[in-house]
Amino acid sequence: MPELADYTMSHTEFVSFETDDGIELNGFFIKPTDFDPEKKYPVITYGYGNAGSQIVVNRWGTQRGPQQDLWHRYMAEQGYIVFAVDNRTTQGRGKAAKNLTYGEYGKYAVLDYIQAVDYLKQQPWIDGSRIGFWGWSGGGYLAAALMTKAAPHFAVAVSVAPVIDLTHYQAAGVERWMGTPSENQSGYDAVNVMNDADKLQGKLLLIHGTGDENVKFAFTLQFADALIRADKQFDMLVYPNQRHGISDFRGHVFKTMSRYFDDHL
């Protein structure tokens, strides 16, 4: 594209690795164009994780558009390695894989990202003490879960518009995976990140628009309340009147994330 002719960008490198229980997962790296295998790099991982989703794809852009992909390549040029993986319940793996989500939303997304950290630490050019994560919406939930349920595998995370408590989320987006709360109360309790607020380790930034029509701003407030009651330190950025995509201030979101990873990772 002529608009990008003046910019240096790294190509995506696709990989696969096997979990401890023998499941092959697909991932990708975006490395700096001056990548040096003798150096140790910090890693920014990205994920979404919902059953039927897919982010490791051989095409330009991600499920949230090209801005996100451009930001990943920008951060690679700032000296980070960007990494993503599709967990075992994601698209292209068949219905049996998708069915693993039923009753246990997010379980395998969390477990497979822990496996991904083990894989990353096996690479000699990765600094295993400097692994971060970011996600939006379902990925925002994953960010919060990885910093609590999966602590201390990730040092830093940014959670944008996170789904925190599925009990109050839209039925169409939840009950097809979880059943109703009356049928599966233990499943809903297990997925509720507020119940794990006391496990938070590392640096966490919560971002949300107050006008979010999809994942309500109240979710982030409830999680913030739980973190405060657990005497945990965290950071928070609120976008007044912005909807789920924070579309009016995307540039501000990505600048904030850049600064947060630069400061803490």
Q: What is the pLDDT of residues 228-237, one digit of tens each?
A: 999 999 999 9
Percent of the chain scoring above 70 in pLDDT:
98
CA distance 163 to 140: 7
Q: Which of 72, 153, 208, 244 does the annotation list as catalytic?
A: 244
pLDDT above 90 for 50: no
pLDDT above 80 for 52: no
Structural element, H or E, at residue 59: none
CA distance 159 to 141: 7
- Nearest CA among 33, 122, 113, 49 for reference residue 81: 33
Cis ω on the peptide bond leading into residue 2 (within 30° of 0)?
no
Average pLDDT on 173-190 reads 90
Average pLDDT on 166-176 reads 85
Average pLDDT on 161-168 reads 90
For the record, the structure tokens of 162 come out as: 């996170």
**Residue 244 annotated as catalytic:** yes
pLDDT reported for residue 10 = 85
CA distance 45 to 1: 26
> CB under 8 Å to 60, separation ≥6 — which residues?
66, 69
Average pLDDT on 201-219 reads 97
Structure confidence at residue 164 as a pLDDT band (50, 70, 90): very high
Percent of the chain scoring above 90 in pLDDT:
75
pLDDT reported for residue 106 = 85
pLDDT above 90 for 68: no
Structure confidence at residue 53 as a pLDDT band (50, 70, 90): confident
pLDDT above 90 for 152: yes
**Residue 264 annotated as catalytic:** no
Q: Which of 137, 153, 196, 208 does the annotation list as catalytic?
A: 137
Q: Which residues pair with 41 in a beta bridge?
A: 126
pLDDT above 80 for 104: yes
pLDDT reported for residue 65 = 65
Structure confidence at residue 19 as a pLDDT band (50, 70, 90): very high
